[in-house]
Structure 1
Amino acid sequence: MEEDTDDDIRFNSLCFINDHVGFQGSIKSSASDFIVIEIDEQGQLVSKATDESLYEISKIQSEPSNFVKKPKLNIQSVSLEHENNEEAADLPGCLDGDQIQPACSDGDQSHQFDSEKENSVNRVTSKCEEESIDILSSLLDEKTHTLLDQFARDIKGMWNSQTELIEPSPELSLGRILDKNQRAVLHSAVRQKFPFLITRGNNSEVVVKPNLEFKELCHLVSEEEALGFFKYMDSKKENSKFTFNPDPNKDHRKAVHHFLNKKFGNLVETKSFPGQNYSTGSSNTAITVRFREKARGKRSHPECDRRKAVCTAFTLQKENLEMFEAIGFLAIKLGVIPSDFSYAGLKDKKAITYQSMVVRKVTPERLKNIEEEIKRKRMNVFNIRSVGDSLRLGQLRGNHFEIIIRNLRNQLNDSANLRERILEAIENVKSKGFVNYYGPQRFGKGKKIQTDRIGLALLKNEMVKAIKLFLTPEDTDDPVNKAKKYFLQTEDAKGTLSLMPEFRVRERALLESLHRFGVTEEGCVQAWFSFPHSMRIFYVHAYSSRVWNEAASYRLAAYGPKVVAGDLICLDEDADEHFPSSKVHLVTKEEESDNTYALHQVVLPVLGYNIQYPENKVGQWYQGVLSRDGLQACRFRVPALKLNIPGCYRHIVKHPHNVSHRLVHPDAAEIQAEGSHADATASSLSLSFDLDASCYATVCLREMMKGDI
């Protein structure tokens, strides 16, 4: 096999996979020419066009004889909870959705348990169950008690028959109980008798619904263990422990660890304790769970504060505004910090965009009160409602685009009919797809210092260098760049703060921290913590994205569209970027000879600590890039900034969906719909299409037009 040259390693030009000629035109002539609307996990567009009445906080009927269904949400996997949900705050299933790092999993020694090994399984006794039945009988009338039993049987029956619950989940109102202590007792009694149900309160009303986390846990452990675990969670007994049955499968234990810490990591911590079954010689390792210790002293535990925080979801519309700038503005107006906002994906600056967001510690009323101020910032908010959880990156199906390309013309030296060139380009990309590059906005198009360079510095733990790269001025003489230039010349954070305009929220937050801690390695580490986690990791991801772009170009230059031995194939056609390595298959020589796979199935790794490299020239290329950038020993973890980058896989080729277009004539008097006859005088093209999550419309357009955008 040939050795790669230095030129091969530095190969970074972007290429095409279609052979049409393309055409020229102007995109993003104005923000209104580029409209982006998020598509949620259920395939629904997130926009102001949605019926506002669907997003009112649901009013549950007090009559216990009715099942009440909730309206469909634009943000899926987020349960509607009332902001005054005082009883539900302490319930499993009503936990805050912050992504907590796993407390302890196999091989993770970051949190230690007591040295003793627990082999007993904590169970809630049958006496407690009998007491729960007696309590239910005393608090509920006979009709309501019967309805509750029937509701529980119906839910259990659906689960046992493998029937999926219809969204939104059914609910049963147990009526209103005015005494707060009696309500608390009723909550506990219902959950003790029916651990597969959860309860919530709404202005003295108690409502019951299926516990979807119970069902999810039953996919990992036995129903008996799941029942025991949720009874243990509800008991809230300090210094108690719960142990699952022994499990010799390490990968399966990791899956259980991951589930427990993702769902309940702010309440409990987990650990695998090894044992030995001497009769069989097999491993007897079991997972033990215990409640986290409460904070000492008068101050409340931050995890408890996090659980009790209300969450408000909304659709954010912004125009010609960077997303982080929008979040910074909202944070100031609402009196929270940027990390209190969560979102499913980043959106373009020069565009009109609609996206789902959730803000913690803010009620819907507070957000509604600043709507007029928001509008003055080229933003708007819609569909404001209370929810029970935050969003996470990637929690979307994709994006819908409405784009106008103006000043259409042929490529240089091309005298063919313009309409035919346009139709040819659109049809080719519809059928053959486009190279799935990360778009230029990922790296800060036109900036002197692009985001991937900052990310590389962070990966190499060069904190001061990363700060100075972030504060490098552009070649303009505006106040922002004057302030940045002053900082690089003097390292005077306080003086730079006096020069930096108020609207530059990120720069000011960084400078305030540098003024407090100093421009040292440790001071710069603290300064980076003035940014939310999502922003810190964004820069590292930008570096990984840049390398992926280069890798895709290298792979296509080395092997073309043919799938060759050593390529990586994704075995799941519906998988997004974040699928595990278990779904990745290494192409064999026999499969290459038989042309078993197609190019659209090939994936390349996005750098991280948990990825597999191709076993051909492309894998060697990756190693050469890591060596080039001084990352030979990089584990893709930055402990100082609490960043862990597991990596993922990305398809080389993607296709647009639901593509439609129309040609608009100069006089705007006649619009030619797709498939009709038009001459070459059309001056603009209106395009509409959907892309999967993490795909870039500008990259799709680049393939159509055959030119850099």
Structure 2
Amino acid sequence: MKQESDAAKVPECFISNHEGFYGTIKNLTRDFVVTEIDAGGHRVNAAASAPASAPTPAASVACHTRAELRDGCQHPQEADPEAADCGAEVTPGSFDLSVILGQSVSEELEHFVLTLKEEKPSSKQELSLGCFADKHHRANVHRAVRHRFPFLMTVTIQPEIRVREDPDYRELSRLVTDDEAEDFFRFVDAKVRGSSYTFGPDDSKEHRTAVHHFVSRRFGKLVEAKSFSDRGTTAISVRLREQGRPKKRSSDERRDEDVYTAFTLCKENLETLEAISYMAAALGVLPSDFTYAGIKDKRAVTYQSMVVKKVSPQRLEEKRAELERRGMSLSQIRSVGEPLRLGQLRGNHFDLVVRDLRPHARCSGASAHARLAALIKEAVENVEARGFVNYYGPQRFGSGQSVQSDRVGLALLKEDLVAAVRLFFTPEEDDDAQNRAKRHFLQTENAKESLALMPLSKPRERLMLRALNRYGTGPDGCAQAWLSLPHSMRVFYLHAYCSRVWNEAAAHRLSTLGFAARRGDLVWLQGERGRAEDNAAPTTLPQIHVVTDEEERQGAYSLGQVLLPMPGNTVKYPENDVGSWYQQRLAQDRLDDCRFRVSSLKLNLPGCYRPLLAFPRNLRYRLQGAVSGEGGSSSGSSSSSSSSSSSLGEGQASVPESKEDSPALTLNFDLDSSCYATICLREIMKCDL
């Protein structure tokens, strides 16, 4: 067993003072069952199930405005590609042209692009990407090539696809920076309803007029542009019109663009992104055509809602048997009118089994059995009533890894991109193909040879190595390597660092100020709960209130209403000792002047607020095995539980006949999205899992 680092280790600070007990989780995959609770309050694996309880107000946090979403702000725990048992948000996949086109054609395209960059090509220069008989494959090629290289245009001479430089891009790049031109063309090609794109500040009216004329002449039927002033600077903002079609579209794409199919995915021993990759390959679409509310654990049985674009229900039905062989089961397949949004869920329901139970203090015989039952009853009731510290779990940082994700994030915040790349490629002790490839890169800096060694199942590592091979391993090459990853992957590492600081801040707050709301603490303003209506996404941030001396004396707020900020460039910090602690903690990592932006990687962290405590809902438990005749349930609304095992229902964990010396505990409860079930268990058991 690898030693857990200080970064990955959760602070040892608890809310309740019960004794707890020892046990193990995830002995079997089916010991950990996670079922998503949709925005309407229903478990997604039971269409007719009763609504789950609404989230506690303190735990429903509105984290970002529309503008912040455009700039890449996500709730920190919702961008974790390795998240285990929380409703994390991540945008899946990237456009790997070597998969879509084949390795040889992809390399030929890369060479063609280099030629365009280095020379002054004529408008007749073009490259054939080959013939594609399947219309879905052709549509994928069009989108993937234009996303990866916005300065190219694709032309279908059915069934052949050819690519050439887009003259409109060349014209725009003479007016704005290359990065702005690429981002603008990606914005136009994505056509996300309600989205907008803003060019950089421009104080030259003559120059703004030239940009306006270009946008109107080339994309006037699709977008409209306006200049606006803010704090003494003027910029051009472009937004999509309510209706309109781009001029640059293939007939294959237009035919299926409005088809959305929803389904419930049950997977076992698979990461969410891994499952999406399998489904995308089977259906002939891109990973980015799948949307979902949050990612789920690998070492578990999980149920979650998904929507896939450009795939009909009939076509998805045809692939069910093939996907089942990959460990995925699809149900409730139906047509819908729009994709899912990240975070569009109420929370998650957990059905867990804890095995190998024993008290912290040794005892034997019948007294041990009775002692264990009493410990469990006290622990469950305490946590149900008092909640638990809302820490990020060790999965957040990559428990057991040689280099935790937060260290990579710290290097990125310091804009030391070379160090961040080397940390990213630090190998584990294992001697598998992935770690051999990482060792080879660190020893030789030969990205091409390392890419040949890296397994195909490691898309992030392969994307970065491909970029390092093309652009070199210096600062500029490392910047391109990070930019080759999807935005959500890049920002995850920064969020991991902020999560570590939040964990430490929570422990400091409780150890120094105690278990009541104190002067200077942050809470939602009375009457403002930081949540939207049940079926709507939040559009504005609720107002943050600073607890006053009088409110502390009157006990106007409880500890469960206290918030702690995730570090960022727009958050308010507590106006007490905890605020000073944040300043000192960031200065310790030489981030006291940090603006929480990495411009070269297009990353921005406005920050947000996370409740100090979380509360399990609908909490029930049952002790089975050695403690014969002992059973229990703990819930304000549930009836008492009998000593024998009852049916737990579809998707729930079940305990087989236990050996007399090996009692097992089943736990069933709901948590709000972004809360970790392992942290709830840790508070119950008072031990690291």
Residue of structure 2 aligned with 1:525, choices 467, 472, 479: 479
* Aligned equivalents of 2:338, 2:30: Cα separation in 1: 32
Residue of structure 1 aligned with 2:491, choices 537, 555, 558: 537
Cα distance per residue 1:1-39 (max 9 Å; x no partner)? xxxxxxxx9997331010111111111111100000111
Q: Which is higher, the Rg of structure 1 or of structure 2?
A: 1
* Aligned equivalents of 1:11, 1:664: Cα separation in 2: 30
Counterpart mapping for 1:162-177 below 5 A: none
Cα distance per residue 1:365-424 (max 9 Å; x no partner)? 554444334323322333334434333322211000000111111113466611111011
Residue of structure 2 aligned with 1:33, choices 27, 31, 41: 31
- SS of residue paired to 1:672: coil
* Aligned equivalents of 1:306, 1:462: Cα separation in 2: 46
* Aligned equivalents of 2:422, 2:315: Cα separation in 1: 37
Residue equivalent to 1:658: 618
| Residue 456 (structure 1) aligned with residue 410 (structure 2) | yes
Residue of structure 2 aligned with 1:617, choices 555, 577, 581: 577
| Residue 701 (structure 1) aligned with residue 681 (structure 2) | yes
Residue equivalent to 2:16: 18
Residue of structure 2 aligned with 1:372, choices 312, 315, 321: 321
Cα deviation for residue 592 of structure 1 reads: 1.4
CA contact (8 A) 2:350 2:669 kept: yes
> How much identity, in percent, do the aligned residues show?
49
Cα deviation for residue 455 of structure 1 reads: 1.8
CA contact (8 A) 1:579 1:649 kept: no
Residue equivalent to 1:634: 594
* Aligned equivalents of 1:506, 1:477: Cα separation in 2: 19
Distance 1:27 1:293, change over 3 A: closer
Residue of structure 1 aligned with 2:273, choices 318, 321, 324: 324
CA contact (8 A) 1:323 1:349 kept: yes
Structure 1 residues without counterparts, runs of 5 or longer: 1-8, 53-82, 84-94, 118-235, 242-265, 276-284
Residue equivalent to 1:399: 348
| Residue 495 (structure 1) aligned with residue 495 (structure 2) | no
Residue equivalent to 1:354: 303
| Residue 109 (structure 1) aligned with residue 58 (structure 2) | no
Residue equivalent to 1:46: 44
* Aligned equivalents of 1:507, 1:517: Cα separation in 2: 15
* Aligned equivalents of 2:282, 2:480: Cα separation in 1: 24
* Aligned equivalents of 2:230, 2:463: Cα separation in 1: 47
Residue equivalent to 1:447: 401
Residue equivalent to 1:389: 338
Task: Determine which structure has greater relative contact order: mean sequence separation of CA pairs < 8 Å that are 6+ residues apart, divided by chain length.
Answer: 2
* Aligned equivalents of 2:355, 2:217: Cα separation in 1: 67
Cα deviation for residue 104 of structure 1 reads: 4.5
- SS of residue paired to 2:355: strand
Distance 1:538 1:369, change over 3 A: farther
Residue of structure 1 aligned with 2:631, choices 669, 672, 677: 672
Q: Which amino acid aligns with 2:306?
A: M
| Residue 566 (structure 1) aligned with residue 494 (structure 2) | no
Cα distance per residue 1:444-486 (max 9 Å; x no partner)? 1211111112222222222222222222111011122111111
* Aligned equivalents of 1:695, 1:352: Cα separation in 2: 18
Residue equivalent to 2:372: 418
Cα distance per residue 1:163-217 (max 9 Å; x no partner)? xxxxxxxxxxxxxxxxxxxxxxxxxxxxxxxxxxxxxxxxxxxxxxxxxxxxxxx
- SS of residue paired to 2:374: helix
Aligned residues: 505
Q: Which amino acid aligns with 2:201?
A: Q
* Aligned equivalents of 1:362, 1:696: Cα separation in 2: 33
* Aligned equivalents of 1:483, 1:606: Cα separation in 2: 35
Cα distance per residue 1:600-650 (max 9 Å; x no partner)? 000000122221000111111111122122222222222333322221111
- SS of residue paired to 1:17: coil
Residue of structure 1 aligned with 2:381, choices 424, 427, 439: 427
CA contact (8 A) 1:316 1:381 kept: yes
Distance 1:20 1:290, change over 3 A: closer
Cα deviation for residue 586 of structure 1 reads: 0.2
Moved more, 379-388 or 477-486: 379-388
* Aligned equivalents of 1:458, 1:272: Cα separation in 2: 32
* Aligned equivalents of 1:640, 1:365: Cα separation in 2: 44
Distance 1:539 1:332, change over 3 A: farther
- SS of residue paired to 2:631: strand
Moved more, 676-685 or 646-655: 676-685
* Aligned equivalents of 2:357, 2:413: Cα separation in 1: 43
Residue equivalent to 1:194: none
* Aligned equivalents of 1:34, 1:629: Cα separation in 2: 37
Moved more, 378-387 or 645-654: 378-387
Cα deviation for residue 357 of structure 1 reads: 2.4
CA contact (8 A) 1:464 1:519 kept: yes
CA RMSD of aligned residues (A): 4.2
Q: Which amino acid aligns with 1:616?
A: N
* Aligned equivalents of 2:202, 2:605: Cα separation in 1: 17
* Aligned equivalents of 1:376, 1:10: Cα separation in 2: 35
* Aligned equivalents of 2:603, 2:493: Cα separation in 1: 11
CA contact (8 A) 1:565 1:586 kept: yes
Q: Which amino acid aligns with 2:623?
A: L
CA contact (8 A) 2:524 2:530 kept: no
* Aligned equivalents of 1:581, 1:698: Cα separation in 2: 29
Structure 2 residues without counterparts, runs of 5 or longer: 1-6, 50-135, 137-188, 210-215, 634-639, 645-659
* Aligned equivalents of 1:440, 1:660: Cα separation in 2: 25
* Aligned equivalents of 1:356, 1:678: Cα separation in 2: 34
Cα distance per residue 1:31-75 (max 9 Å; x no partner)? 10000011111101112x4379xxxxxxxxxxxxxxxxxxxxxxx
CA contact (8 A) 1:315 1:383 kept: yes
* Aligned equivalents of 1:111, 1:661: Cα separation in 2: 65
Cα deviation for residue 298 of structure 1 reads: 7.7
- SS of residue paired to 2:423: helix
- SS of residue paired to 1:50: coil
| Residue 685 (structure 1) aligned with residue 683 (structure 2) | no
CA contact (8 A) 2:312 2:335 kept: yes
* Aligned equivalents of 1:563, 1:494: Cα separation in 2: 56
- SS of residue paired to 1:418: helix
| Residue 647 (structure 1) aligned with residue 607 (structure 2) | yes
CA contact (8 A) 2:223 2:238 kept: no
Q: Which amino acid aligns with 2:19?
A: V
* Aligned equivalents of 2:30, 2:425: Cα separation in 1: 31
Counterpart mapping for 1:132-531 below 5 A: 267-269=223-225, 271-272=227-228, 299-300=248-249, 308=257, 310-413=259-362, 417-531=371-485
* Aligned equivalents of 1:614, 1:653: Cα separation in 2: 16
Moved more, 16-25 or 580-589: 580-589
Q: Which amino acid aligns with 1:376?
A: R
Distance 1:272 1:314, change over 3 A: same
Distance 1:306 1:471, change over 3 A: farther
Q: Which amino acid aligns with 1:625?
A: R
Q: Which amino acid aligns with 1:672?
A: G
Cα deviation for residue 527 of structure 1 reads: 2.4
Cα deviation for residue 274 of structure 1 reads: 8.8
Distance 1:291 1:319, change over 3 A: closer
CA contact (8 A) 1:23 1:410 kept: yes
- SS of residue paired to 1:397: strand
CA contact (8 A) 2:8 2:395 kept: no
CA contact (8 A) 1:461 1:638 kept: yes
